[in-house]
Structures are given as C-alpha cells and as structure tokens.
Amino acid sequence: MKFLDEFKAFAMRGNVVDMAVGVIIGGAFGKIVSSLVADVIMPPIGLLVGGINFTDLSWIMKDAVPATAGKAAEAAVTLNYGNFLQTLFDFLVIAFSIFMFIKLINSFNKKKEEAPAAAEPTKEETLLTEIRDLLKAKKN
C-alpha cells in the first residue's frame, strides 16, 4: 500500500497535474495550428507558386519496377522533401504563435508589475516620519 500512496501523492501534486493540462491543451493547440497552416495558409502559397501541393513534392531516386513472371514488383524509392517542408512550415507557424502568445502574457504581467498598489505605511515608517518632523520643528 505504501507504494500506491507514494504514487498517488506524486500524481496529484500540482506540478504534475498542471503539466498534464498543458500537454493536453498543447496537443489541441497543435491541431488548430496545423489546420490553420494546411487549410488556410498553404493553399494561397501553393497558388502563388503554381498550384503545387508541398506534401506531394518528392525526388524519385529509383523508379518502381513492375512485376514480371519470375520477379516481384519493387516500389519506387523516393525522397519526400515536400512533406518535410510542410512540417517545417507548420513548426514555424506554431513557434511564432506561441511566441506571440507568451509575449502577450508577458505584457499583461509587466503592466501588473508597473502599477503597484499604494501601500499603507508601516508603524515603523509612521514613527520615523513623526521623529523627522519633530527634529525639523526643533531645528527651526
């Protein structure tokens, strides 16, 4: 039972739960951004470069060999650089989106730090102020 109690204490700690929520939200955010890139951004870019679908771009290193009477068919060997370009572009859009989101959060935090609330003076500060005022009055 001690092992299960330790595991429960570990799994229910705030950091682990926060991390799990972050991973789930990050996965959902990744799907949204992937859809944005694939369905909204890439079609106009493909149109600009002549209707090319980036995911279909590949370099055929060895042509396919059809089956013959004594030999099985061989698939073509291709280097699929278009899919890599698409994934790279997805990454750049996701990274930029996260950068802008973090920048927005930091600007909110900065505004909170710049506007500290007017604090009441402590008893010590009040006493020191009174002593200062008495010394000024005694001097004059």
Give the pLDDT mean for 6-14: 77
Q: How many CB atoms lie within 10 A of CB 30?
A: 13
Strand-pairing partners, residue 122, are: none
Q: What is the mean pLDDT of the chain?
A: 82
Give the pLDDT mean for 22-29: 86
Burial of 71 (0-12, 13-18, 19+ CB in 10 A): exposed
Residue ranges covered by each domain of the chain: 2-67+74-113
pLDDT at 46 over 80: no
pLDDT of 40? 84
pLDDT at 64 over 70: yes
pLDDT at 138 over 80: yes
Q: Assign residue 51 a region: left if phi > 0, alpha if psi is -120 to 50, beta otherwise?
A: left
pLDDT of 12? 74
Q: How many CB atoms lie within 10 A of CB 42?
A: 19
Give the pLDDT mean for 46-70: 82
CA–CA separation, 58 and 75 (whole Å): 14
The CATH number that domain 2-67+74-113 falls under is: 1.10.1200.120
Per DSSP bridges, beta strands 77-79 and 59-62 are antiparallel
Structure-block tokens of residue 100: 């802008």
Q: What percent of the chain has pLDDT over 90?
A: 5
Taking alpha carbons only, the member of 48, 28, 50, 46 closest to residue 38 is 46
